[in-house]
Structure 1
Amino acid sequence: MLLNENINGTHSWLIEYINRCKSGEIIIGYELMQELDVLLRHFNNPEITVDFTDAHKRIKFIETKCKHFEAPFAGKPFILMLFQKAFIEAIYIFKIYDEEVGRLIRLYQDVLYLVSRKNGKTPLISAMCLAEFFCGPMGLRILCSSNDYEQADLMFQAINSMREESPGLEKVTRKNIKGVFFGNPKKPKKNGKFSYKNKGTIRKISAKTGAKEGRNIGVGAVDEVHEMKDDTSVMPIRQALSTQDEPLFFELTTEGVVNDGYLDNRLKEARQVLDGELERPRWLIWLHTQDNEQEIWQNEKSWHKSNPGLGVIKKWSFMRKMIEEAKNSKSKRVFVLSKDFNIKQNNAAAWLTPEDIENLETFDIEEFRNCFAIGGVDLSKTGDFCSARALLMKPGSDKKYFLQHYFIPEAKLNTLNREEERKYREWVRQGLITLSDGNENDFRHVTAWFVKLFKEYGIRFYKVGYDKWSAVYWRKEMEEYGFDTQKVDQNWGSMSEPMKLLEVDLKSNKVVYNNHPIDRLCLENTAMNVNTKEEIMPIKIQGKDDKKIDGAVTKMICYRVYIDNKIEFLELVKRTA
């Protein structure tokens, strides 16, 4: 049954939104519907007073005073969509009597706002903070925060840009490196809210800065909380709100890839509240989420559940492009599902399928006699394999051919279970692994393998990539033999691009590794660690900490050297034709 959208002569955007969601005209997820059902009950609760004054004052302020500052909407009035107006109403219209304060105050003090990227969450909360600055009480202090200073600055700059776009707002305020303040030195006012006597401020801090400037604030807004590992940067802000009669604390975010982080715990509590298992009456939980992953691939209309601005703020063409890319790239799939659809992803997700890894094509080393190669090594003294590798290519082809060899200390074999030891000793017998005496790998064997390829087959190494770990003396030895080396750090910036290119090449059967059993094993054991910048790194699959991935890592090291020196290397490949 639909409710009357007019209450005492005032139109309710929240009720209109609820009615259109209930009728199916607007598609939302189950979790948001749970919250809307809670809000519906408030209208019939005798202990809750419904007052539209504060909400509509702020909606009017945003639509008449705030303007967009980024393309493609730069300079245009900030006209709120229905879901945004409903969200603002949900925060402000419900009042309860507080015995301690002695008057009616706002019911909701904490707001969790989860919505997919590019749906205007930062501009919306920024506009609400600016509206609160002007429409709220005198002396109101507002704090913008995030996990890093750059992200916190995005919200602050959004607030300030809207202020600057409005001549009426700019002439009664000022900005400096510390923040935004009331009072304009060019047109000073002696008294009133817009004078220097109003000590209200808008500032920014990050998790790294701490919350020293956050004491006695009235509004706190924390952006992208999915990046936070714990609540160390959030709790000081929440505590700084404790002196206020009507504090307002915003947490706005998309889903993320940080396991067991702050957002995971926060959403766990939020869902307990929505399910009636936990009581948090002052917490507004507004989650734009999908009901399951399957509907994303099967029904475009379901995308509205996590993307309420789709078709107005966010483009359909962008979403369709992301979906197509996600079908062909595991790293893109993780990022798209978490960022565009709020489906939680493990940040150590499996990287390849068995079909990606399988390649039965083989080649004879004689095919590459007197050719140029790129080398790669992953060195370890004790725990893991040492892996050495040569990347070779043929003129006019983008296939990558790999020669490889592995090294392990003799003592390590004695620590393996019977089945593992049998397998490793068979690989030693086959000449796939070289043993070092004692407990440590002898890196001279690694150098000897590269020298052997040169002396016996004339394979000349353009560059040999290495990780800095345990490599100081080995690098000197290699350079004494005339090899040119290149350091490849195993970090996000260095490993992400080669790992992605290797994935694409594996999927398209452009990686030929002679069906090497240890290479195949290393690829099967490799997962990808994803960060918030959509960068990836190799990591061992969860629960397989004792398994080896060194062979996959050396492929990526070779790819890093190849990417950095592609033009020069391919020119050398042509000369050997």
Structure 2
Amino acid sequence: MITSYPLNVLTYEYNGTHSYLLEYITKCKAGEIVVGQELIMELDRLLLLFDDPDIKVDFEDAKKRIKFIETKCKHFEAPFAGKPFLLELFQKAFVEAIYIFKIYDDEIGRWVRLIQDVLFLVARKNGKTPLISAICLAEFFCGEMGTRILCSSNDYEQADLMFQAINSMREESRSLEKVTRSNIKGIFFGNPKNPKKVGKFSYKNKGTIKKISAKTGAKEGKNIKVGAVDEVHELKDNSSTMPIRQAVSTQDEPLYIELTTEGVINDGYLDERLREARQVLSGELERPRWLIWLYTQDSEQEVWQNENSWIKSNPGLGVIKKRSFLKKMLEEAKTSKSMRVFVLSKDFNIKQNNASAWLTHEEILNEETLDIEEFRNSFAIGGVDLSKSGDLASARVILMKPGSQKKYTIQKYFIPESKLENLSKEDKDRFANWIRRNLIDVSPGNENDFSRVTAWFVKLVKDYGIRPYKIGYDKWSAIYWAKEMDEYGFDCVKVSQQDWGAMSEPMRLVEADLKSNLINYNNNPIDKWCLENTALDMNSKMEMRPVKVQGKEDKKIDGAVTLIMAYRIYMDNRTEFLSLVGR
């Protein structure tokens, strides 16, 4: 309980002033508001500051910014478009936590804001970008003259979301728009339609709000007061954040904010930041100027078993974010690995390993076989992964029967003789067995002879009349092979296995079809092995692509890749292909 003088827990006051932060802390610790243990630990850190003799508690800056947001800022997106930006208690407490604590700076010779660094982790659709955008706009108007603000993210599109949120709030308010202007470069003070020669809101004020992405060069040297980096979970390292943190270091009262959900990038920038943050919360590290505001679950189990716990990672649940939406997402997550990864990381801030197995053994297992004679004189869809590294290569065709959604696949694998020596003892035994069964074609020397891949397709046509309608191949490693195939009359289409957009949709359909037992891969053990070695890599747009399972970097996924690539060609040409199948 909060008992130390001069706090008044009944009225949430500090020295006669109502504090939203104290109100929030009290209600959280009393269980009236449900939050996770990591936020409780941070609230305990903040509580100590009220009685710290080296800290002065001053509500003026926080009150000014809260009042600015609630009276000047308006929402711009449905269903709240045009309505005042009325802050929830958790948002007011967050703003207060940033601004009310002051520490005396001997170098500067005055009291300055204690908090300079903020990590704000909250599940998606809880208003994090609008909130930070509103704080940035408030700082622009309520802060000192010449305040320069930079919005950043991993890509320009995401950085633009925050910038546009700021600009839209500015445009929604007549009083703010009257004294500012915006163009493609940023937001500036001074309005040509209502010119002022002097004062904070005139052209004399050189403050700006601009945007930048991690991919944009020349970030060093920018002298800014506020830096806000959105979706830091997508960053692989600190190469794009350090220049921004250094750029604010020249200011007396800088403010650097990182806002994000959890992600799926292993050992990325956010992982390191969260490791440090949790060390601070546990008392292992001293970071008195870092506000660590984490809305996290205490376990994955409670997500599935206790609906009341969802608010721990979703403080806006019921007001900003709909409970029915979360229920729907969780239902889908029960039957889809990709959806499970996305929902747990994005909606509940539970870190997901993006290199864990994509499919279970049971989902992959299918002991059905096929008789190639049943597909004599049929059309097919092809897929080829020739492997840049020169080891295992894969080729396959997908066949279908009229009136059926089931896919039947015939495959062949290829490997250079020299590569067999580099395999582990376990894999050597596997490959020796597969070669004896004629599942793998071995090329002499150090490289695959891709003409053998061509010969395999030619043999399908000559021996069985199986004609590939189109064949997908990875554009990075098959230029000369594609020319050879073209000479034989095959229509080959480039598909990049590194492209999220190209691989995501077919990967989902392969997953669904495997679970529905709609893929007969002729009980091929190499296909099974490749599928078991395959993990899903997911980005913030919920797009996915195949990668190797973490810890299985020496294993192969070529068979899974060709299946997904063939599905890409099938999906792009479904109508035409099915009409050929039905003939």
TM (normalized to structure 2)?
Answer: 0.95
Q: Which moved more, 1:51-60 or 1:379-388?
A: 379-388
- AA at the equivalent of 2:556: K
Q: Does 1:180 align with 2:183?
A: no
Q: Does 1:221 align with 2:236?
A: no
- AA at the equivalent of 1:473: Y
Task: Tell me by how many angstroms 1:309 deviates.
Answer: 0.6
What are the superposed Cα offsets for residues 271-304 of structure 1, whole Å, 9 maximum, x if unpaired?
Answer: 1111111111111111111111111111111111
Choose from 369, 381, 387 the match for 1:374: 381
Summarize the Cα distance change of 1:35–1:377 in structure 2 as closer, same or farther, 3 Å threshold.
same
Q: Does 1:82 align with 2:82?
A: no
Summarize the Cα distance change of 1:377–1:187 in structure 2 as closer, same or farther, 3 Å threshold.
closer
- AA at the equivalent of 2:294: L
Partner of 1:515: 523
Any idea what SS the aligned residue of 1:349 has?
coil
Distance 1:411 1:135 in 2: 69
Distance 1:219 1:411 in 2: 57
Summarize the Cα distance change of 1:282–1:384 in structure 2 as closer, same or farther, 3 Å threshold.
same
Q: Does 1:17 align with 2:24?
A: yes
What are the superposed Cα offsets for residues 542-563 of structure 1, whole Å, 9 maximum, x if unpaired?
Answer: 2222212111111112101101
Distance 1:203 1:480 in 2: 53
Q: How does 1:274-293 map to 2 (within 5 A)?
A: 274-293=281-300
Any idea what SS the aligned residue of 2:91 has?
helix
Summarize the Cα distance change of 1:407–1:92 in structure 2 as closer, same or farther, 3 Å threshold.
same
Q: Mark the runs of 5 or more structure 1 residues left unpaired by the alignment.
A: none
Distance 1:382 1:282 in 2: 49
CA contact (8 A) 2:414 2:441 kept: yes
Distance 2:393 2:149 in 1: 55
Partner of 2:240: 233
Q: Mark the runs of 5 or more structure 2 residues left unpaired by the alignment.
A: 3-8
Choose from 168, 171, 181 the match for 1:161: 168
Partner of 2:212: 205
CA contact (8 A) 2:472 2:565 kept: yes
Partner of 1:466: 473
CA contact (8 A) 2:345 2:352 kept: yes
Any idea what SS the aligned residue of 2:448 has?
coil
Summarize the Cα distance change of 1:192–1:521 in structure 2 as closer, same or farther, 3 Å threshold.
same
Summarize the Cα distance change of 1:433–1:231 in structure 2 as closer, same or farther, 3 Å threshold.
closer
Task: Tell me by how many angstroms 1:211 deviates.
Answer: 5.3
Task: Tell me by how many angstroms 1:219 deviates.
Answer: 1.6
Q: Does 1:455 align with 2:455?
A: no
Distance 1:410 1:141 in 2: 62
CA contact (8 A) 1:211 1:233 kept: no
Choose from 540, 547, 555 the match for 2:555: 547
CA contact (8 A) 2:219 2:244 kept: no
- AA at the equivalent of 1:179: G
Q: Which moved more, 1:519-528 or 1:212-221?
A: 212-221
Any idea what SS the aligned residue of 2:71 has?
helix
Any idea what SS the aligned residue of 1:552 has?
helix
CA contact (8 A) 1:382 1:409 kept: no
Q: Which moved more, 1:475-484 or 1:378-387?
A: 378-387
Choose from 83, 103, 113 the match for 1:96: 103
Partner of 2:417: 410
Task: Tell me by how many angstroms 1:384 deviates.
Answer: 2.4
Q: How does 1:354-433 map to 2 (within 5 A)?
A: 354-380=361-387, 383-417=390-424, 419-433=426-440
Q: Does 1:325 align with 2:335?
A: no
Distance 1:420 1:209 in 2: 44
Task: Tell me by how many angstroms 1:134 deviates.
Answer: 1.4
Summarize the Cα distance change of 1:261–1:414 in structure 2 as closer, same or farther, 3 Å threshold.
closer
Q: Which moved more, 1:443-452 or 1:324-333?
A: 443-452
- AA at the equivalent of 2:185: K
Summarize the Cα distance change of 1:374–1:280 in structure 2 as closer, same or farther, 3 Å threshold.
same
Partner of 1:570: 578
- AA at the equivalent of 1:142: I
- AA at the equivalent of 2:398: L
Distance 1:158 1:81 in 2: 18
Distance 1:13 1:381 in 2: 59
Distance 2:96 2:426 in 1: 65
CA contact (8 A) 2:391 2:448 kept: no
Summarize the Cα distance change of 1:220–1:396 in structure 2 as closer, same or farther, 3 Å threshold.
same
Choose from 509, 512, 535 the match for 1:527: 535
Task: Tell me by how many angstroms 1:504 deviates.
Answer: 0.9
Size of the alignment, in residue pairs? 575
Distance 1:515 1:261 in 2: 38
Partner of 2:323: 316
Any idea what SS the aligned residue of 2:411 has?
strand
Choose from 499, 502, 506 the match for 2:507: 499
Q: Which moved more, 1:467-476 or 1:54-63?
A: 467-476
Choose from 53, 60, 68 the match for 2:67: 60
CA contact (8 A) 1:382 1:408 kept: no
Task: Tell me by how many angstroms 1:376 deviates.
Answer: 1.6
Choose from 244, 253, 273 the match for 2:251: 244
Partner of 1:536: 544
Partner of 2:119: 112
Partner of 1:477: 484
What are the superposed Cα offsets for residues 97-133 of structure 1, whole Å, 9 maximum, x if unpaired?
Answer: 2222222221111111111111111110111111111
- AA at the equivalent of 1:517: P
Distance 2:184 2:425 in 1: 66
Any idea what SS the aligned residue of 1:239 has?
helix
Task: Tell me by how many angstroms 1:63 deviates.
Answer: 0.5
Task: Tell me by how many angstroms 1:212 deviates.
Answer: 4.7
- AA at the equivalent of 1:403: I
What are the superposed Cα offsets for residues 438-457 of structure 1, whole Å, 9 maximum, x if unpaired?
Answer: 33222232222222222222
Distance 2:528 2:449 in 1: 24
Any idea what SS the aligned residue of 1:187 has?
coil
- AA at the equivalent of 2:570: Y
Choose from 447, 451, 467 the match for 1:444: 451
Partner of 2:54: 47
Partner of 2:13: 6
Any idea what SS the aligned residue of 2:258 has?
strand
Choose from 125, 134, 152 the match for 1:127: 134
CA contact (8 A) 1:376 1:466 kept: yes
Any idea what SS the aligned residue of 2:356 has?
strand
Distance 2:189 2:417 in 1: 73
- AA at the equivalent of 1:535: E
- AA at the equivalent of 1:555: L
TM (normalized to structure 1)?
Answer: 0.96
What are the superposed Cα offsets for residues 22-65 of structure 1, whole Å, 9 maximum, x if unpaired?
Answer: 12121111110001011111222222222211111111111111
